[in-house]
Structure 1
Amino acid sequence: METLFTLAVAHSPSFVAGAAVICLTTGWFLASLLTQMEEAWPRRQPYRLVATAMVAGLGVWTTHFVAMLGYRPDVAVEYDPAITFASATIAVLAVGLPLAVSATVSRAGARLVLAGLAGLGIGAMHATGMAALSGCLRTQSLTASLAGCVVGAAFMMLARGLPPRHRSRPVACLLITCAVCGAHFTAISGTTLQSLAGAHRSIPEDLILGLLIAASPGFLFVNTLLSLVALKRFETQEREHAGVLSLALENMSHGLAVFDGSGRLELFNDRYRELCRLGEDRLRAGMSLDALLDAIGAACGWDAAWRARVEAAILARLAAKSVQVADWTAFDGRIILFETRPLRGGGIAYLIDDVTADRQARRQMQQLTLIDPLTGLANRAALQAELEAVVASGAPQALILIDLDRFQNVNNMFGHAVGDQLLIEVAARLRAAAGDDVFIARLGADEMAVLARGAPDECRVFATALAGALSWPFAIGETSFALGCGIGLCHVTEAPGAAELMQRAELALYEAKRKVGDRISAYEPQLQERITARHHLEKDLDRAIERGEFHLAYQPVLSLEDERIIGYEALIRWDHPTRGPVSPAEFVPMAEETGQIVPIGRWVLREACREAATWPDQRHVAVNVSPVQFRSPLLLADITAALAASGLPAQRLEVELTETAMVEDGKAISHALENLRSLGIRVAMDDFGTGYSSLVHIRDFPLDRIKIDRSFVSRALDDPHSLAVLKAITQMGRDMAIATLAEGVETPEQMRMLRDLGCGAVQGYLIGRPERFGATALRGGTYLPAADKTREADERRSA
C-alpha cells in the first residue's frame, strides 16, 4: 500500500489521464487494424502490417513517456535523446511487429506466442525508456521489471487469444490498454531515483523532450488516420476488383477454393459452397482448415474416420509441388473431380466439380464397347480382357469356342432379320444352358465363346451339354431351323498366355469342324503338327496341277430301263509324290477353303470333257462342281471353254451340285443353273435327302436328275423308314419328270429293289468301281448287262 501511495503521489493526475486516453485510443485503433488484417487478402497484408506495427509501437511509446512526464519525484532528471529514440524503435519492432504478425497466422498457438512476445516487448521498451533518464541515480527492482513483463504478456495474450465470437473491439481495446498500462506501472513501482550533487533540470532539453512527446499523440493520430484512409482506399479497390472477380467466380462451372500456406481459406465461390453443401453462414474467408472440415463434415454426415481420411488427402495435396487431378468418391457416393494447383508464395487452389453423371455415362459407354449390341453378350474385346484375367488368376477354366452350322444358309435364304433373331435365340439358349455366372461372348457372325470352370474332363462334359442345347431346332415365326455346331476347347493348363489359349482353342475348333459325328474337339499338342502338315499339303496342292499329280477316275452309271451303261461320274484323284494317294475327302474341302478349287475344277472340266469325247454310244460324263466354283464369275466361261476345246456336245455333260451347296446362295445358284441348261448342259442334285428343305429345292431349282444319297439305299432293305423315303423320292421324280439315280448300290438285292421302285438309274460298286480312263472303266464291274457284254467282245475283236 505504501508503494502504491508513493507511486500515486509521484505522478501528475492530468498526465496519467492523458496517458490513459492515448493508450485507449491506441487500443481502439489496434483492434480495428487487427480485425482488418485478419480479413485482408495476402496482397494487401504488407501495407496493413507496417501500419499496425507503427500504430502499436508508437502508441505504447507515447503512453510511456506521457506517463513519465507526469512522474514527479523530487529529483532533477534529464532524457538522453539517442536512447529515447532507440526505445521508440524497440516499441515498433518488439511490440508492434509481433502484434501485427499475429493477425496473419491461423493457428491459435502461434497467435498466442506472438502476442506474448509483444507483451514482453512492452517491458523491453519500458526498460530502454527508463535507461534514457540521466542526471540522477536510478535503481530498478528486477522483480518489478519481470512482473511488468508478465503483466504485459498476460493481457496481450488474452487480447489475442480470445475466441472470435468474444474478440470484440471494446474488449480487445480494454485488454491492450491493461497490457500497456499494467506493464508500465508495475515496472515503475520498483524504480527509485536519487539526486546527484550539482544536478539540475536542463530546461531546453526537457522542453525539447516535452515537445517531442506532445507531438507524438498528434503523429500517432495522423499516422493512424492515414493508415485507415489508405486501408479504406485499398478496400475500395479490393471491392472493385472483388466485383469483377466475383462475377468471374460465380460464372464458373467448377467450385473454387483458395487456401494459403497455413491452410486458411482465402477465397471461394458459391459453386464450391454448393458442392460442399454448406449454407451461406457456414463458410467465410479466414476459416482454418480444421473449421472448414468440421463444417463440411457436419453438413455431409462424415464420421471420424472419413474426416481423417479427407484431412490427410488435403494435407498431402497442400504439400505437393505439382498440379494433380483425380476423382474422389464422396461420403454420399458422389464422384467429385479434384484439381489442385500450387500457388506462388505458398498456398493452393482447389477446383472441384460433381462429375457423377459424366463418369456414369462414360462407364456405360465403356460397357457398350464391351457388349455385342445384337445379343447382349460380351464381345471380342471383353473376351480378351477376361482371358487375361483368367490366365493371371490361374483358376482352372477352359475356353470353349462354338461355330454354328448352316447359319449362313439361313441368312442367304431368309434374310438378315431372321438371322439376327436366330442369333438372339442362340444367345438365350446358351445363357440358359450355361448359367448366369458363366462368361459368354460373341466373336463373329456365327461364332460364340464360353468360359467354363473346372478340370479338363468337367469342361468337356460342359461343352457336350452346350452342344446338346443347340442341337434342338429353333423356331423363328412359322419356320423351324436346325443348326448344330462344332465346338473346340482348350484348358488354361495347356496354354501359357491368353493369346495362346485363344489360338489353341481355334485349332481345336478347326479340328471339330472337320470331324464327322462327334464334333467336339479338345486341344492336344498333335493338333499343331496336323496344322503344319496341312499347311505343307496346301502348298503341294497348289502345285499339283503343274506337276501332273491329278488324274480322274470314272464310275459307271447303269440305266435300269434298258440295263446299259449310260455314262460315268468323273472323280478326281491325287497321287502325292511322297504321301501316295490322298483322299478327296481330305484335299477337296481344303481346296474349297483356300480357293484352289477353282483352278482344280477348271482342270477337271477340261480333262473330263476331253476324255468323254472319245467314248462311244453318246455316254455322258458327270462332273461335280463346288459351290465355290458357282460363286466364281468364271464358271460358265470354264465350262464353255472345256466343251469347245474337247468338241464334246453340251448334252453329254452333266453338272452335279450338292443340295447343301444350293442353299448357300439360292438365287445366284438358280440363275447359274438356268444359264447352263440354256446351253444344253444337264444339271443333277447330288446327295439328295440329306440337305435342308429338299422339297423346296426340287420345286424351285431347274434339275434334270436327282441322285439319291447312298445312306437310304444301304438301309432300305432293313429299315422301313428308309424304304419309304426311297419310294417317295422315286415317285416324286416320276411325277415331276425328273430322272432319279440311286448311289451306293452294292448287292443284287438292292438292284432289284430299286428296279421294283421305278428308279431310273443306279451307281455303285456292283456296277463298277471308280477307275482311270481305259477299257476297264468302259466295261463296268461285277454286274455287266448283256448289251455291254456284246460290246466288250466287239471291242476286244477290234483291238
Structure 2
Amino acid sequence: MPHIQGPPAEAELVRLLIQGVTDYAIYALDPSGSVSSWNAGAQRAKGYTRDEILGTHFSCFYTPEDRAAGLPAQALQRARELGRCEVAGAWRVRKDGSRFWAHVLVTPIYDRTGRLLGYAKITRDATQQKAEAERIAEVTRKLDLALENMAQGLCMFDPDGTLVLANRRMEAIFGAAAGGLGPGTDFLEVCRAMTGARASEAAAPGAPARPGAMPSEARAGQAEHYAQALSGRHLDLLRRHRRWRSVEALPDGRAIALSHSALPDGAWVTTCEDITEQRRIEAQIHHMARHDGLTGLPNRSFLNDYLDEELPRARKQGCQVATLAIDLDRFKEINDLYGRAAGDTVLRAVAGRIAAQLDTGEFIARTGGDEFMAAKRFTQQSGLSDFTARLVTCLGEPVRLDGFELTVAASIGIAIFPGDGIRREQLVGNTELALRRARGNLSESICFYESRMDEAERERRTLAGELWTAITADQFVLDYQVQAAIASGEPIGCEALLRWQHPRRGLISPDSFIPLAESCGAILPIGEWVLRTACRAAAQWTSPRKVSVNLSPVQIIHGNLVKLVTRILAETGLDASRLELEITESAIIGDKARALDILRRIQALGVTIAIDNFGTGYSSLDILRSFPFDKIKLDRTFIAEISGSRQARAIIRAILALGRSLAIPVLAEGVETGEQLRLLQAEGCDQAQGLLFGRPQPLDHFRRDHI
C-alpha cells in the first residue's frame, strides 16, 4: 500500500508533474471520500474547476443509479481491503450532466504508522475506445452472423493446413462429428468428419452391430480409408491450383460440392455444400425426359435405349429376348362413355400393376395412348410363359371407378430375339405385326410372330387343369409361421401358409398358382381345404393360440363364406376367438358393401379380422375407416426398408400411431433382423412375424417348437 515518504523537494516535483497531466484525471480524496486535490486533467475530463470541486464528495461523479446502489462506498472499501480498486469500464458524470465511459483506479494512501490519509484516484476517459470496441464487435457480430447463415459450410486453414475457424453450417451438413471441429484441427481430421470416420471412432466400444451390417471395425476402416484418400487428393489439388471445385460422393450416399480458394500467404478457404437435393432434381428432370408423365412408366425413347443395350447383352450371354406389344381393347369406348379422366385412371392402374410385378430382366414402357411394350430376357420358354401369364393377370383385373368396375381386356403381340429380329427396329416392327394379328383374331388375344402361337396360353391351361387334379390328389400342404408379441417375445399365434407339392414340378409357391386358381375358380375348394385344415390343426393344440388364414377376394364375393366358416368351426371344435382371417384391400374394393357385410357377419361369430399388406393400396385409410378391423398387418416392404429409409420409418410410425388411436394392434410382417426388431420396439409396434422368429414349418415341427 502507498505511503507518504521522500523529501519535500521530491514531493513538490511529483505534485507539479501530476498537476501538469491533462490526459488523465488525477486527484486525491480524503478518508471520507471528499476531493482534496485536483489536476488539470481532472478539470478537462469532468468540467469542474479546482475551487468548485474541492471538499465535494466524489460520489458526485457517479450516476444516480450507481449512487443508489452504494457503489462509491463499495469502491473505497474494496480499495482498503485489496490495496486498490480498479473498474475497467463504467459510466461517470461530468459537471454538465453528460456521461463518459471511464477506466478508474482507486488506491488508498497511508502514512508510516499505517494511518489512512486518503485515496489517490486516476480516471481515464475511455469513451472513444469503447465506441471503437463496440464498432469492431458489431462488425465481428455481423461477420459471424453472415458466416453462420451461409448456405455452405466454411472452413479456413492456415498455411500448415490447420483449421483456423469453421462455421456452424459444417455441423448441419456433416452432423455432430463436425460440430467438434475446433481451431488446430488438421485437414485430414476435417475429412474424417465429412466422411463419417470420426463418428465411427466415436461409436461406443463393444456396442452390438446391426444384424447383417458390416462389422464396426470394417466400417471404421472403410471410412478412414475414404477420408485419407479424400484428404490426399484435395491437398494435392491445392498445391497445383489456386481455385478448385469438385463434387464428392460420400459413403452415406450424399453429394457434396467442395470448393477451395488459396490465399496469398498459403492459407486457404474451403466451402462445402450439400447438393444432394440438386442432384435429385437433375435426376428427376432426366427421369421425366425418359418416362411417361401419366403412368410413370418408361417411354418409347427409354425403351429404345433399353433394347439397344439388352439385345447385345443377351447375345453375349446366350439368352433370348421377347418383346411384347400390348394394346388395351376398346379403350376408346372407355374414354367416350366415361370421360378421359376415367381412361387415365385405367391406364395408371394397368401400368402400376404391371410395373409392380416386374422381375430381373423384365421391362415395361408406355409407347402410345393405350399401348405398352414389354421386354423379357429368358433362357427357357417357361420363363416367357410365366411372364406372359402375369401380364394377362394384371390386365384382366377389374379397375374400380367411382362406384363401378371396368374390366379391361388386351391384345398382345410377341416377337423373340434373335429368331424374329437381330436389330431393335426389326424386332419391334415384328412385335407390332404380331400385335396387329392378335387384334384381328377373335378367338386368341395373344399372337406370336410367325409360327409361335399359343405356347404361353397352352402352358397356362395345362397348369389350370393340374390345379383341379391337385385338389383331389391331396397335393396341397400347409406350413405354419409363428407370430410373436414384440414386448415379451412370446408366441401368440401363427399364420397358415399354403404350398403346392407338384409331383413333377416340385414345390410351387402360392404366388405362382393362386392368381391362376382365382381366375379358373379352383380357389374356392382350395380355400375351403386350407380353412378346414388349419382349424383342425389348431383345435388339437394344448395352448389357446390363434391361427391366421388368408382369404382370397374370390372367396368373399363368390362363396358362401359365413356359412362355411360357421360349419368348419363346428366340425373342428375350434373356438371362434382363436381363428383370425386375413384379407387384403383388393378383397374389399371389388364390391365394398357386400364384402363389408360378410366380414361383419363373420366378426359377429367371434372370429377376428385382420387387414393384410396394409399401406400398399390406394384406399387403405378409407377401408380402415369403413370396418372395425381387429388387427393391422404392416406390409413387409416397409419393414425391409426401415433401417435405411427415413420415408419407410415415417410411414411405419404413422401407421403405428393410427393403430394406437383406433386401439387396433399392429403386426409387422417380414421381420428378419435384430435391427428391424429394435426399431419396431422403439416405435411401439405390438406384434411381429418373420424369419427372425421362425421360418414357416410343417405342422409337426411347428407344434414341437412353439406349442
TM-score class, shorter-chain normalisation, is: 0.3 to 0.5
Larger-gyration structure (1/2)? 1
TM-score normalized with structure 2 length: 0.42
**Which has a greater percent of helix?**
1
- The structure carrying a bigger strand percent of its residues is 2
TM-score (norm 1): 0.37
